[in-house]
Amino acid sequence: MSPRDAGRAPVIVAARRTPIGTRGRALASLDVTALAAPVVRAAVADAERALGGPVRVADVVLGNCMGPGGNPARLAALAAGLGTGVPGATVDRQCGSGLAAVLDAAAAIRAGDERPRVAGGVESASTAPVRSLDGVPYSRAPFAPDGFADPDMVRAAEDLAAADGIPRSRQDAHAARSHARAVAAAAGGRFDAELVPVGGLAGDDAIGGAAALLPRLPALFPGGTLTAGTATRIGDGAAAVVVVPGGATPAGTAPGLAVRASAVVGCDPALPGIGAAPAVLAALERAGAGIEDVAAFEIVEAFAAQSLAVLDRLGVADDDQRVCADGGALALGHPWGASGAVAVVRLFGRLVRAGAPAGTLGVAAASVGGGLGVAAVLEVVR
């Protein structure tokens, strides 16, 4: 895609998120509507400043995977004060939902409906309902039908570590690095412009908490390598972006991230943690770019073993500064349906707010339960 083509592509012109609160802590009393509405409002206000006028939102598209059901995106649109005429759609690709919602919004604009959209994700793990089947409670729906492996994500991460020979020492080092980067980023104010305080929480509450304990934590499975410190903390939070057609202002496109290419792929449900790798490669191929062309990666760090397995398949070093440079989900926390959108917000901060030149590429990606991968290639436009 040429710079001129990038200027006509759907462009993310505003990006905000709540702090991520560990499940059961500071944000435990807030449901999905209370989490999502403030970031929707903040993102729209930012877009209006960037575009120099009112933003008439055509739709609100939010990812959510374990919430109350119904249509949380519509509730968020109403609670955000966008008016009764603004609809909503809720997307469930499990922990890739937030990124999938952004891509759905971009696809609608690319298809010809050139009206602005709000997209992102929200999860309140603290208020997620307990479901039951025939009166028997269960924690999740199946990721795969009978005849396929259907491990939960913790078991799948342990199996992936074993299959790829990823030792505990390497996982501990990866988690420690994520925390160290996030501590430095928070201290340096690099999250400040993207955060919308909610529920009295002004910053991500898991950062740094597990780092000192990593060597002493017991394995989660007998003879295994995964620990509570190399698995992300489940979190509550929301993230939202505003997507507009390129050239949305008289002077041209406002500074932002053009959605250059994307991919959603399937992989073996037995090892779902690798899904981000083929998705990233497919999205880069569609963008006519390679790993070496990417300035910033935000890959959802649900587990250290999963992240390392993805990096190995991409040929990227464990400590590559391009990958989650300010820490990832291992440090910030993982609000399932929002995390993919948090990755986009983080790229916006790292590239657009930080002044990266036009043409700079970023990649957001997530591996998904059941054997999926979602990825987007985003390009800075100015």
Is 174 annotated in the active site?
no
Q: Where are the domains of the chain?
A: 3-129+142-381
The residue annotated as part of the active site, out of 65, 95, 267, 324, is 95
Q: Can you give the pTM of this predicted structure?
A: 0.96
Alpha-carbon span 310 to 331, nearest angstrom:
18
Alpha-carbon span 104 to 118, nearest angstrom:
11
| Contact yes or no for 182/191 (Cβ under 8 A) | no
What tokens appear for 3 in the block?
A: 């710079």
Cβ neighbours around 57 below 10 Å, total: 22
Indicate left, alpha or beta for 199 from its phi (over 0: left) and psi (-120 to 50: alpha): left
Distances from the Cα of 156 to the Cα of 71, 89, 211, 226, 332, angstroms: 30, 30, 23, 10, 21
pLDDT of residue 100: 98
What average pLDDT does range 72-88 have in this prediction?
Answer: 98
- Please give the mean pLDDT across all residues of the chain: 95
Considering Cα of 119, then 252, then 346, then 183, what sign does the dihedral take? negative
What average pLDDT does range 60-72 have in this prediction?
Answer: 95
Judged by DSSP in three states, 157 sits in: helix
CA 176 to chain centre: 20
Is 334 annotated in the active site?
yes
3-state SS of 43-79? HHHHHHHHHCCCCCCCEEEEECCCCCCCCHHHHHHHH
The residue annotated as part of the active site, out of 65, 179, 267, 334, is 334
Q: Of 3.30.565.10, 3.40.47.10, 3.30.2130.10, 3.10.129.10, which CATH number belongs to 3-129+142-381? A: 3.40.47.10
- Give residue-wise pLDDT tens across range 319-372: 999 999 999 999 999 999 999 999 999 999 999 999 999 999 999 999 999 999
pLDDT of residue 4: 43
